[in-house]
Structure 1
Amino acid sequence: MLKSESPPNASPAKPVEAELGQALPAAAARPLVRYTKLALRIVPVILLIAAFFVLRREFRGLSWTAVARAMDGWGHAAIFGALVLAVLSFLLMGVVEWLGLRWAGKTLPWGVAIAGSFLASAIGHAIGANLLVAGAVRARLYDRHGVGLTQVAAATLFNGMSFAVGLGALGGGGLLLASTAELSATAIPVWLARAAGVLLLTGSFGWIAICALRHGKPLKAFGRSLSLPTALDAVFQLILGVVDNGIAAGIIWILLPHGMTSYASFVGAYAVACVVGLISSVPGGAGVFEGMISTLLPDAAPAPLAAAFLGYRLSYYLLPLVIAALALAGDTLFRRR
């Protein structure tokens, strides 16, 4: 670094242009930061209000009797299948957890990683602010195993990126593989579905390319640096993320009447609904997620669709949350004793 020299008794005055050059960007950045914070507060409210009106329109006149009748039509096989898919999804999250901890420099036993992932994911899914809440739960659980906060943050980011690239690849593949007739049954124009599919797949596979090209060269932004996973770890993130999101989408799809919509077109709508639900910042995307899928599947019968939503929330959100809450309460009592 070059330093300018000045007389010993002279005050190190800065040029006026330099002062203006430092002050103007800071002054110009303040409105941008203010508008960004305002948008983050307004957008979730707008999405929640829009979801309310969409659900009111889609399910107007729908009675609980009709929904209960649709739930009776599931059959034992569909209920058992939904529960099995939920268990498989959380197990896959545990595998991603183990890989993320290993990448962060801490290898834990499989049982510890799967248990920690289940508790963090079950609570984070239901409460919202998934990265923050899940990270806090991980920090509480892993401190006894010598996992530092930096390693917890790295593992949480690894999990989040696995979910993102997996969701993008699954949704993009579904939009590209769905036939024109299948897409015509949705509210997504065919040309938009194909373009969105290419964009999503490009982003997902682009992550692998970035990790391969930038391995050993950390990304630097906002005064911080971030080391990227290896290309092989990125491939594992993509594969596990696709399978995990595909299983989660299958929980709803398996509870829908046979032939209502193809799986390929449904996962495209599911991916879009997940993204909008995350943007809304509503816990679990409740209401926003359902409203988006209802909009994207206008030909779906309201009663079976509402019943499938209830089954999805019960098996993938409420039941894991209850189990995780009881497990955390038991762990707290055990540690105090």
Structure 2
Amino acid sequence: MSTMALSRHSWWPWARRAAMWGFFALIAWLLVRQARTIDWEEVLDAIRALPLIFLLAAGALAACSFALYSTYDLLGRYLTRHRLGTGTVMGVTFISYAFNLNLGSLVGGVAFRYRLYSRLGLANDTITRVLGFSMLTNWLGYLVVAGTAFCFWPMTLPPNWKIDGEGLRILGAVLLMAALAYLMLCATAQGRTWRVRGHAFKVPGLPMALLQLAMSCTNWSLMGGVIWFLLQGQVGYAQVLAVLLVAAVAGVITHVPAGLGVLEAVFVALLAHEVPQAKLLGALLAYRGLYYLLPLVVATLGYLVTEARARRLRVPARPGR
């Protein structure tokens, strides 16, 4: 390897890391600057004023959403034929999802799955297939729910945004076509194996794809229902769901852990003309408490229990099929 190549390899990781932390610092500065313009006493009053019945309804939907998401890895268990129990698989998925929401997908959704599943005896190729199928299930539902919302219930976007209502309809149609393409692939190429970066993924059948679709669409709809209840129905459900879907992608693009500030910024930009800012932020902070922080506490305890169980079992790794 040339001296120039060696030099590049020595400074490039540091430059990339510095750019990443610089980006996070910029986001933090913008959040602090924006936070100074908010009357936090009004926001706290809005949280205290939330009726108990709406909090309970939102909490019930959040619990249903987590329970449903926790079954995603069971689909991967069916495809890979590994022998971990249903409760164990759901527990690992729940823990990974809670940490994913709060710490980002690489730490939560990926690292925790590899850590816990490997401790419980699964081989890396099996874990990769389970993880990949779970992520596919999640985003397949997103394509359909977002595509439907953008096509049939397009929201009014701020004038300084790069896309208008018509552009949103086109985007929705593209998302629906992508989901349809996946269903057609499963209908016509069932059992075919595709290799992605050295990992083999077998195309599931159409019944499995439809099950993925039903589970994920329901889960995204439940998430929208949580915020809708916390907003006490002041905004139509379809509009709340559409804004949540925009915020979800914005959080993925920015790579900010927990979408901190991104979720709030998108909702304020799109709904502040319909809901007072203090009430809107109060509902979103309650949403973070119910859907992010409370599950994180439970997941932390679950992680400690799972680690202790794995140490006791000392299960040897099984080769993936």
Q: Which residue of 242, 262, 270 maps to 1:288?
A: 262
Aligned ranges for residues 48-63 of structure 1 at < 5 Å?
A: 49=26, 53=30, 56=33, 61-63=37-39
**Equivalent position amino acid for 2:271 in 1:** L
**Counterpart residue type for residue 270 of structure 1:** L
How far apart, CA to CA, are the structure 2 residues paired with 1:209 and 1:47?
40
Shift of 1:334: 5.4
Matched-pair contact (CA < 8 Å) for 1:44–1:282: no
Partner of 1:264: 238
- Alignment map for 1:70-89 (pairs within 5 Å): 70-89=46-65
Residues 56/246 of structure 1: CA separation in 2 closer, same or farther (3 Å cut): farther
Q: Which position in structure 2 is the counterpart of 1:20? A: none
Residue 321 in structure 1 maps to residue 296 in structure 2? yes
Structure 2 contact 157–164 (Cα < 8 Å) conserved: no
Deviation at 1:243, TM superposition (A): 0.9
**Does 1:119 find its partner at 2:95?**
yes
Distance (Å, rounded) in 1 between the aligned partners of 2:140 and 2:280: 27
Distance 1:211 1:47 in 2: 40
- Deviation per residue, 1:160-203 (Å, 9 max, x gap): 11111111211111122326xxx237666221221121112112
Q: Give the deviation of 1:143 after TM superposition.
A: 4.3
Call closer, same or farther: CA 1:234–1:44 in 2, change over 3 Å: farther
Alignment partner, residue 192 of structure 1: 167
Given residue 290 of structure 2, which amino acid in structure 1 is its aligned partner?
A: S
Q: How does 1:227-246 map to 2 (within 5 A)?
A: 227-246=202-221
For structure 2, the residue ranges without an aligned partner over 5 or more in a row are 1-7, 313-321
Q: 1:99 aligns with which of 41, 64, 75?
A: 75
- Whether the aligned pair in 2 keeps the contact of 1:92 and 1:244 (CA below 8 Å) is yes
| Greater C-alpha Rg | 1
Q: Which residue of 1 aligns with 2:5?
A: none
Q: Is the 8 A contact 1:246 1:267 kept in 2?
A: yes
Q: Note closer, same or farther for the CA distance 1:56–1:231 as it changes in structure 2 (3 Å cut).
A: farther
Opposite residue 169 of structure 2, the aligned amino acid is R
TM-superposition CA deviations, 1:301-332 (whole Å, max 9, x none): 21111112211111111111111112222444
1:255 Cα shift? 0.8
Task: State the alpha-carbon separation in 2 of the partners of residues 270 and 54 from structure 1.
Answer: 19
CA distance in 1, matches of 2:186, 2:29: 40
* 1:225 positional shift: 4.1
Change (3 A) 1:143 1:53: closer
Q: Provide the residue aligned with 1:7 in structure 2.
A: none
Of stretches 314-323 and 105-114 in structure 1, the one that deviates more from structure 2 is 105-114
Cα RMSD (Å): 3.1
Aligned residue number for residue 149 of structure 2 = 174
Determine if contact 1:120/1:137 at 8 Å carries over to the other structure. Answer: yes
CA-CA distance at 1:289 after TM superposition: 2.6
Report the CA distance shift for 1:330/1:114 in structure 2 as closer, same or farther (over 3 A).
closer
Aligned residues: 298
Q: 1:257 to 1:207 in 2, by over 3 A?
A: same
Please report how far the alpha carbon of residue 144 of structure 1 lies from its aligned counterpart in structure 2 after TM superposition.
Answer: 6.2
More deviation, 198-207/210-219: 210-219
Alpha-carbon distance in structure 2 between the residues aligned to 1:50 and 1:124: 20
- Structure 1 consecutive aligned stretches of length 4 or more whose deviation exceeds 3 Å: 37-57, 139-146, 184-188, 220-225, 330-337
Whole-angstrom distance in 2 between the partners of 1:45 and 1:253: 35
CA distance 1:146–1:221, shift in 2 (3 Å): closer
Q: 2:111 aligns with which of 136, 158, 168?
A: 136
Structure-1 residue corresponding to 2:176 = 201
Contact 1:165 1:237 in 2 (8 A): yes
Counterpart in the other structure of 2:317: none
Match of residue 216 from structure 1: 191
**Structure 1-normalised TM-score?**
0.77
Aligned to 2:4: none
